[in-house]
Structure 1
Amino acid sequence: MKIIIVNGPNLNLLGKRENDIYGDETFNDFFETLQSKFKNVELEHYQSNIEGELIDKLQEVGYTYDGIILNAAAYTHTSVGIGDTVKAISTPVVEVHISNTFSREKFRHKSYISANAKGIILGFGLQSYELALMSFLSK
């Protein structure tokens, strides 16, 4: 099984930014732990702060991978383009958020991705990614 995690803006700052919301572990450290837990999965990750690069990556993997775990971060709430891409590709997408976006600012309550995602997992910290991964394994 081939799964990719696609992370949007500022997620490269995990472990440094707003630790009360996002924790103090870097994504790279978390990803290494995830890889060691799921050795039978070909697991990759990609991060960009640029909307078009995220769209390009989704299009690149969106017909050949078994699953995409997408945390579009702030673009979740603003990017019609990313939402349209999720709708256009055939690979199932699970939308993930580290924080509970519904307990935060009102603008974070809207997602342009959710309507076309296989599912949504939010509010469980970095474990949200692991839960998303498990959803692909429990077919």
Structure 2
Amino acid sequence: MSKILVLNGPNLNLLGTRQPDVYGSETLKDIEEMCTAHAAPLGLSVDFVQSNHEGVLIDAIHAARGTYRGLILNAGALTHTSIALMDAIASVELPLIEVHLSNIHAREAFRHTSFIAPVALGQICGFGSQGYSLALDAMSAYLAEAHKE
């Protein structure tokens, strides 16, 4: 079973109560439970880290090397500001899929730029919590293809 680390950044601990019109009514715990259930039939196990602190996320990315086969990251607002997160992702050389609950390209202009996208396999946005399931499906397919090589 391949281990995947799902990282969630600033303010995602407030899901369910924070702007439900934008981010939905599900809590982060609901999303984690959904991810765990969705991952098992794909042959994946998932662990979760949420932090409002950039350095904690960077430390988790560094620690993932040698333990996890891939990363799924919703960096929240750090997506648009953190070169340090981008560098950490590039440094560990693990496949990463970027996830956003809302469609960041249909929101304020500053949200259209992602520092994560250049070091990600791809970006999933605008599908709410389903984006995490889509990311797990994509990661599973990517790892299966990589295993063939």
Tell me the TM-score normalised to structure 2 length: 0.89
Listed as ranges, the gaps of 5+ residues in structure 1 are none
Match of 1:108 among 108, 111, 114: 111
- For residue 9 of structure 2, what is the aligned residue in structure 1? 8
Give aligned pairs, total: 139
2:52 and 2:80 map into 1 onto residues whose CA distance is 15
- Whether 1:61 and 2:64 are equivalent positions in the alignment is yes
Tell whether the 8 Å contact from 1:9 to 1:72 is kept in structure 2 after alignment: yes
Q: Report the residue type matching 2:5 in the other structure.
A: I
Instruction: Give the superposed CA RMSD.
Output: 1.1
SS in 2 for 1:69: strand
Q: For residues 39-69 of structure 1, what are the alpha-carbon distances to aligned partners after superposition, in whole Å with 9 as ceiling and x for unaligned?
A: 2321111000001111111111034311100
Q: Report the residue type matching 2:60 in the other structure.
A: K
Q: Report the residue type matching 1:82 in the other structure.
A: L
Tell whether the 8 Å contact from 1:63 to 1:89 is kept in structure 2 after alignment: no
- For residue 46 of structure 1, what is the aligned residue in structure 2? 49
SS in 1 for 2:7: strand
Shift of 1:77: 0.3
Tell me the TM-score normalised to structure 1 length: 0.95
Q: Percent identity?
A: 46
Shift of 1:38: 2.5
Where has structure 1 moved over 4 Å in runs of 4 or more?
Answer: none
1:122 and 1:62 map into 2 onto residues whose CA distance is 25
Shift of 1:34: 2.4
Map residues 69-88 of structure 1 onto 2, 5 A cutoff.
69-88=72-91
